[in-house]
Structure 1
Amino acid sequence: MVLGVLAAGGAAAVVRFLVSRALPVGPGRLPFGVLIVNVAGSLIGGVVLGLAERAAVSDDVRLILLTGVCGGLTTFSTWSVETVELALTGRWRAGILNLTATLFLGFLVCGAGYVLSR
C-alpha cells in the first residue's frame, strides 16, 4: 500500500511539474498551471468519493487515488504562495481572481464528479 501511494504521488507530482512548466506564470498573469492541477485534482477527488460510496473502488484504491494521486497532483501550498505573491506585487485583481476561480472551480468539479460517479 505504501509503495502504491508513493508511486501514484510521485507520478502525479511529475505531471504537476510538467503542467507548471508548460504554463508558466508571466507578469500580471494568473498561474494557470496551478489552477489546472488543483481543479483536476478536485475532479478526481469527487469522482473517487462517488465511486467509493457505491463500492465501485476498494478502500485501498481510494487511498492510493486520494492520498497518492491527488496529494501529489494538487498544490494548495503553491497556490497559496502564488496568490500572496500576486497581492504583494500589487496584482490584487489577479490574486482575487486566482483565489475565487480555484475555489469555485474546485468545488464545482468535485461536486460534479461526485454526483456523476454515484
Structure 2
Amino acid sequence: MFELLVVAAGGGLGAAARFMVDGEIRARHNGGFPWGTFVVNVTGSFLIGLFTTLAFTLSYLGVPHGTVRLLQLALVVGLCGGYTTFSTSTVESVRLAQSGRMRLALANSLGTLMVTVTAAGLGMWLGTVLSGPYG
C-alpha cells in the first residue's frame, strides 16, 4: 500500500509539472506542431534515463534494495510517468493527419520516437558520468 502512495504522489507532481510546462509552451507557440507535448516527452525521457542509471549506481553502492525501489517508484514510475504523455502525442499526430497536415503528423510521430530515445540515452550517459567510477 505504501508503494502505491509513493507512485501516486510522484504521479501527481509529474502531472502538475506537465500541465505547467505544456501550458507555458502552448501559450508561446500557437498552432502547428505540438511543441508542449514534444518537450515534455523529451525531457521526461531524459529524466527516466538519468534516474534509472543513478538507481543502478545506488544499488551497486549497497543502498538497500527497498530504498532504491521506492526511489524508482517515486521518480521513474510516478514523477516521470505522470509527466510524460505519449498517448497525447499519438492523439496529436492523428489530429494533425486528419486535418491534412501529414508532414507535421509524421514529424511529430517519428521525431518524438527518435528524440525521446536519444534523450533517454543522454540521461543514462549523464547518470554514468555523475556516478563516476561506480557507473
Q: Taking structure 1 as the reference length, what is the TM-score of the superposition?
A: 0.90
CA distance 1:116–1:21, shift in 2 (3 Å): closer
Residue 46 of structure 1 corresponds to 49
Measure, in 1, the Cα distance between the counterparts of 2:30 and 2:101.
Answer: 12
Q: By percentage of residues, which structure has more helix?
A: 2
Measure, in 2, the Cα distance between the counterparts of 1:117 and 1:20.
Answer: 26
Residue 103 of structure 1 corresponds to 113
Residue 20 of structure 1 corresponds to 22
Number of residue-to-residue matches in the alignment: 117
Residue 69 of structure 1 corresponds to 79
AA at the equivalent of 1:38? N
Question: What is the SS of the residue equivalent to 1:79?
Answer: helix
Structure 1 gaps, min length 5: none
Residue 35 of structure 1 corresponds to 38
Question: What is the SS of the residue equivalent to 2:58?
Answer: coil
Kept in 2, the 8 Å contact 1:23–1:31? The answer is: no
Measure, in 2, the Cα distance between the counterparts of 1:86 and 1:117.
Answer: 36
Over aligned residues, Cα RMSD in angstroms?
1.6
CA positional deviation for 1:88: 0.7
Measure, in 1, the Cα distance between the counterparts of 2:5 and 2:73.
Answer: 12
AA at the equivalent of 2:12? G
Measure, in 1, the Cα distance between the counterparts of 2:21 and 2:58.
Answer: 32
Identity of aligned residues (%): 38
Measure, in 1, the Cα distance between the counterparts of 2:34 and 2:121.
Answer: 23
Kept in 1, the 8 Å contact 2:6–2:73? The answer is: no
Q: Taking structure 2 as the reference length, what is the TM-score of the superposition?
A: 0.79
Residue 79 of structure 1 corresponds to 89
Kept in 1, the 8 Å contact 2:94–2:105? The answer is: yes
